[in-house]
Structure 1
Amino acid sequence: MSERSRRRHAAADGARSRTDGSERPLSEAYDTALLDLDGVVYAGGAAIAHAVESLGRARGGGMHLAYVTNNASRTPESVAEHLTRLGVPAEPGEVITSAQAVARLISDQLPAGARVLAVGGEGLRVALRERGLEPVESLDEEPAAVVQGYDPGIGWTQLAEASYAVARGLPWFASNTDLTIPTARGTAPGNGALVEVVRIATGARPQVAGKPLPPMHRETILRTGAERPLVVGDRLDTDIEGAHAGGVDSLLVLTGVTDPARLLAARPEHRPTYVDADLRGLLTGQPEVGAAGEGYACGGWTASARDGALALDGEGEPMDGLRALCAVAWTAAGEDGGAGGLDAGKALARLGLA
């Protein structure tokens, strides 16, 4: 067994204590990138810096690109059109949404033609029809189930209708439960916040399909046929945890909701295989993180724990320093997370990442 394979097996058996290295560019080491969208490729309507050119080069080198999003509001066609306008040519079949995953979950439990009270956007309704289900808008239309998916136009009336249906005992489904979404103006409430409103009103809990849960991973593999996938995301609790649950490798990019401090405090299931500043990380190898005395070294940096804090010696690329810090923090924390109780402020400030 190679050293890299040994580390992978060790990470699967227990808590990951450091990021992996890769001598080959990630776009060559993996056949398919399973890319989150919000916070990775775009924020709001605009492309994130370096995303368009990085994805173009990865595709040009032979990597397959699939866009996997928990946002259930838009159809795959509209997402593909948006990506193409940004300069990332995409086909609808390359877009996998939590709406598709939840529609399959519902169709596995209801007969063909069943009516479903759909509280969400057009993407949710289209996905339901694709699975032979009929979306409706009112409890008066006698639905057999209720499903929630994100849509910015959802208001009190729709949430109340869902609450009435759930309180009556109808099976309740949710595309995803992300509490927040990144937008061009900042962080906004996500579908999970809307689901929470119905939960508070009814005391019930829905069946959930989206990342990080198995129905979304199943939908992604069924639609892409990926054999060596790499999950690429910005969220620890959806993208990275979903990769961990699916037994596949992951790349965290720091262009969305996860900042370096949160990464250092990540629980075992939230620790990515690789970390980079943005999608340019697909085009390069990843440096090894190795033991160095009582600490860990990566690139020109050596990280250690001193007097209850993380410390850095040396100089070099900030991401190398962050990878070394992760090794110290994750090793100290073990299965518990929380950066091992070590103060990271000064070390991150030295890297310009505070």
Structure 2
Amino acid sequence: MTVGDPAADVLRDRYDVLLLDLDGTVYAGAEAIPGARDALVVDGGPRLFYVTNNASRSPAHVAGHLNELGFPATEFEVVTSSQSAARLLAQRIPAGSAVLVVGTDALADEIELVGLRSVRSYDDAPVAVVQGHSPDTGWRILAEATLAIRAGAYWVASNVDTTLPTERGLCLGNGSMVAALRAATDRAPDVAGKPARPLMDDAVRRSSADRPLVIGDRIDTDIAGANNAGLDSLLVLSGVSTAADLLVAQPSERPTYLADTLAALDETPEALRIAPHHDVTAQVEDEVLWIAAGDDVDECVVLRAGLAAAWEAPGITDVRGRGPVGAAVADQLSGRAHGRRD
């Protein structure tokens, strides 16, 4: 079976390229997500491209980290929001223009690579500001950016993720720093990363994909980005977004497929769609979603059927389950499940 065959029996074989998010999907900080290597490193499978909103590291650095964790990756196969941000700037301002960089040296390098000049001070008369995640961002550089933006500089944010998954849990992301500048300037940036289209378009273009599948852990970035670009998507529940988030997801944030882990790539596409299931009863009564299933039914199967019913009946105020599995999934959907990642 050739990869990219729309009639293939297994999900991975229906697509010629997997456009993979990193944080929360492939790894969490310094550690690989359990089972990710076995699910992705498959002979004869679709090509892997890594598409990340995190602008703090260079593509070469990211590829090296992936290699250390056992994933095949080259610098060319890593597409970052810093590259897309640099492209947006190069299309908007003249070559050689000064760009104030709020972020790491890796982001500054991408600015230099497109023929612009990276600076760190408002006194250098920047005509644009670019902002990406850096763990060292502080008041002083945000103040320089505030002055530039208030003076009329064009502002591009690599991404607006409010949180960032790490091995210790969720920490503040670039979007939280962007929010500080928005409050200080009463301006909003153009956004390069997901869910905006520039990064996804760059990934499709570079990979020469005919049938790409976007895989990620966030409905507001990975899945919304896929939908904005008209691409199929798989949400894995290994990172940020939870079942409770999916319950109230807008249509623009709803994935094509849903699974607990990347192992689902070896399942049938039909089984992974959010749809009613013959082994699950899911119905809405007086704004309450009731879910029931036998004890031998997988919780993710029940979750997909429950979401299908919920999305057909907006305005649900509570979720209740009948039986142990139904109750467990109801707790997930209502946010009562132990260990929910708030």
Inter-partner Cα distance in structure 1 for 2:157 and 2:58 = 17
Give the counterpart letter for 1:176 in structure 2: N
Aligned match for 1:316, one of 259, 280, 297: 297
Matched positions, count = 322
Q: Percent identity?
A: 46
- After superposition, residues 294-313 of structure 1 pair within 5 angstroms as 296-297=276-277, 300-306=279-285, 308-313=288-293
1:14 maps to which residue?
none
Inter-partner Cα distance in structure 2 for 1:196 and 1:45 = 27
1:29 maps to which residue?
14
Distance 1:297 1:62, change over 3 A: closer
Question: Which secondary structure state, in structure 1, belongs to the residue aligned with residue 72 of structure 2?
Answer: coil
**Deviation per residue, 1:38-62 (Å, 9 max, x gap):** 10001111011111111112xx223
Kept after mapping to 2: 8 A contact 1:28/1:61: no
- After superposition, residues 171-190 of structure 1 pair within 5 angstroms as 171-190=154-173
Q: Answer yes or no: is 1:327 the counterpart of 2:308.
A: yes
1:116 maps to which residue?
99
2:53 maps to which residue?
70
2:110 maps to which residue?
127
Q: Answer yes or no: is 1:48 the counterpart of 2:27.
A: no
- After superposition, residues 98-117 of structure 1 pair within 5 angstroms as 98-117=81-100
The list of structure 1 runs, each at least 4 consecutive aligned residues, that deviate by more than 6 angstroms after superposition, is none
Q: Answer yes or no: is 1:90 the counterpart of 2:90.
A: no
**Deviation per residue, 1:55-93 (Å, 9 max, x gap):** 112xx2231111101000000000000000001021011
Inter-partner Cα distance in structure 1 for 2:121 and 2:40 = 42
Question: Which secondary structure state, in structure 1, belongs to the residue aligned with residue 281 of structure 2?
Answer: strand
**Deviation per residue, 1:305-328 (Å, 9 max, x gap):** 345222123341111111111110
Give the counterpart letter for 1:183 in structure 2: T
Distance 1:103 1:328, change over 3 A: same
Give the counterpart letter for 2:36 in structure 1: A
Give the counterpart letter for 2:316 in structure 1: G
Inter-partner Cα distance in structure 1 for 2:271 and 2:14 = 15
Kept after mapping to 2: 8 A contact 1:119/1:137: yes
**Deviation per residue, 1:285-306 (Å, 9 max, x gap):** 1344899xxx9315x3332234
Inter-partner Cα distance in structure 2 for 1:30 and 1:273 = 13
Kept after mapping to 2: 8 A contact 1:233/1:253: yes
1:349 maps to which residue?
328
Distance 1:189 1:284, change over 3 A: same
Kept after mapping to 2: 8 A contact 1:22/1:288: no
> Offset of 1:348 from its aligned partner?
5.2
**Deviation per residue, 1:11-63 (Å, 9 max, x gap):** xxxxxxxxxx9862221000111110010001111011111111112xx2231
Distance 1:350 1:98, change over 3 A: closer
Question: Which secondary structure state, in structure 2, belongs to the residue aligned with residue 96 of structure 1?
Answer: strand
Kept after mapping to 2: 8 A contact 1:33/1:64: yes
> Offset of 1:342 from its aligned partner?
4.8
1:18 maps to which residue?
none
Give the counterpart letter for 1:311 in structure 2: I
Inter-partner Cα distance in structure 1 for 2:207 and 2:270 = 29
Question: Which secondary structure state, in structure 2, belongs to the residue aligned with residue 108 of structure 1?
Answer: helix
Question: Which secondary structure state, in structure 1, belongs to the residue aligned with residue 83 of structure 2?
Answer: helix
Gaps of 5+ in 2: 1-5, 338-342
Report the more deviating stretch, 146-155 or 313-322: 313-322
- Length-normalised TM-score, structure 1: 0.86
Kept after mapping to 2: 8 A contact 1:101/1:215: yes
Kept after mapping to 2: 8 A contact 1:145/1:170: yes
Question: Which secondary structure state, in structure 2, belongs to the residue aligned with residue 66 of structure 1?
Answer: strand
Inter-partner Cα distance in structure 2 for 1:341 and 1:303 = 13
- Length-normalised TM-score, structure 2: 0.89
- Structure with the larger RCO, 1 or 2 (CA within 8 Å, 6+ apart): 1
Inter-partner Cα distance in structure 2 for 1:137 and 1:348 = 54
Kept after mapping to 2: 8 A contact 1:213/1:242: yes
Gaps of 5+ in 1: 1-20, 334-339
Question: Which secondary structure state, in structure 2, belongs to the residue aligned with residue 309 of structure 1?
Answer: strand
